A and B are shown apart, each in its own frame.
Chain A
């Protein structure tokens, strides 16, 4: 049969020479290669202490954004849920009452908002669909867990800290990703 490439090599079946039969030189040669790696640059990263920077387009856990007055941006319009190919997002809306204007940005808000991280495929379509810049995919992994209960993320888990009361935590959670849209109040 015609070989597919010309890179095939025949196995060398000649008897070994004396130097080869001495065993030690070949071992030392191999050890030399191994030893020389001690002086080369290490590609390994000591993970929990050291972290590699994320790519600009990395898509991790979701955050629900607040505006600069600390009000929730989400209005439960359902566009993320309809865009979600894995049907991971569910929500229930409520009407904002008088006195709640400092909590919610619009007349309607998401009273319950839930992402099932077992279903989520981190495609980022929810982020693209959101008309209110309310949902962002951050630079955090979904932590591992022994049972499934820990993967249903409610609003408490997703909501970003309030930028007015806890600026530092807000900045950290935002991580250079979450931005306030241009021209928003």
Chain B
């Protein structure tokens, strides 16, 4: 059984995959437009998937032995391939319509506060709605709101942005030693909370931030400090006794604004090179090590070609050396104006990356 390879055709492209592979994983082997989007499925998390319905595909031929098509669209993250299966993803109008419908449903109660949201620029819901959604919404009622829950000093919860993918619940179950949060209530009222106000302070709980496909769980130590696309992602590592210590630093100049785990092209946390397991990182690495001297920088992290994060970032870029000093026998060029004497932005005295929480008006008043 283990050596058996199944032939599966997705959008007229045939791949051979081992038995037990899901359609989504087979499509990811092909890559490109064929791959269905996935909001709730997360490869490293056992049991994830099947909730968001964005990965719907049409199975036009069940298998070689039973060639009947499946009557309804199926969730590709939970359906395993059969030998000779034929799947339609982007070639089926039914699938495209269904995805547009799912996106509309996901966005019904979404506050659309991307200008404020820290996830903007790396948000899967943004990508999904751009690529698979429609231009407008038909919803004209008050959007659902929630009472605010405080999840402690590290993690900021915005329940209005949540799409209930359950990834954070699985992460807390499978990666941390104890789960303190979960989904309360049902249907429209379902929300991520801790029931009794509780800090999320388990050692690996910070990974829920990386896992969250939207801006519902964000890093409080990075909150409002910078936009994602103005920071530069570099791969870095340090010796950590709790985790693999392989991270992506989001830097601006020499300041480390944010630390996240390394992610692959599907937005999932990469397998660590050191341990060979999923590269979850501990809270210490994520929240406490905010100095460039804590890390060994390896170089610019790969950025997706069409991502806004790629703006102004060029691999292999080297800081040009100052020529004037060399030409003028060591005399320094006379500056006409030091920008810090006039400018109030990026004051040398205020290091935003070293403030614990989000900056407030008082920070700038000093």
Taking Cβ atoms with an 8 Å cutoff, the residues of A that contact B are 75-79, 81-82, 90-95, 97, 100, 106-108, 111-114, 116, 131-132, 147-149, 152, 154
Contacts and interface: CB of A to CB of B under 8 A. Distances in A.
B223 A95 contact: yes
Given A75-B115, A78-B227, A97 B345 contact: no
Nearest to B336: A148
Contacts of B360: 94-95, 97
Given A77-B227, A82-B227, 12 more contacts: A75-B115, A75-B116, A77-B114, A94-B224, A106-B115, A108-B224, A111-B359, A111-B364, A148-B342, A149-B341, A152-B342, A154-B344
Given A77-B116, A108-B224, A114 B345 contact: yes
A112 B343 CA distance: 10
B184 interface: no
Nearest to A156: B344
B307 to A, nearest CB: 12
Contacts of A77: 114-116, 120, 227
A77 B119 CA distance: 11
A82 B307 CA distance: 13
A94 B359 contact: yes
Contact of B344 (A76, A95, A108, A114): A114
Contacts of A82: 227, 229-230, 308, 311
B315 to A, nearest CB: 20
Q: Range of interface residues on chain B?
A: 20 to 34
A132 B345 contact: no
Interface of A is mostly: mixed
B311 to A, nearest CB: 6
Nearest to A76: B224
A155 B82 CA distance: 62
A79 B308 CA distance: 11
B152 interface: no
A132 to B, nearest CB: 6
Contacts of B311: 82
B363 interface: yes
A112 B227 CA distance: 14
A63 B345 CA distance: 18
B361 interface: yes
Interface in B56-85: none
Interface string B323-366: 00000000000001101011111100000100001111101100
Contact of B352 (A92, A132, A149): A92
Contacts of A152: 339, 342-343
A81 B114 contact: no
A91 to B, nearest CB: 7
B113 interface: yes
16 contacts: A77-B116, A77-B120, A78-B229, A81-B230, A82-B308, A90-B345, A92-B359, A92-B364, A94-B364, A95-B360, A100-B361, A112-B344, A116-B343, A131-B115, A147-B337, A152-B343
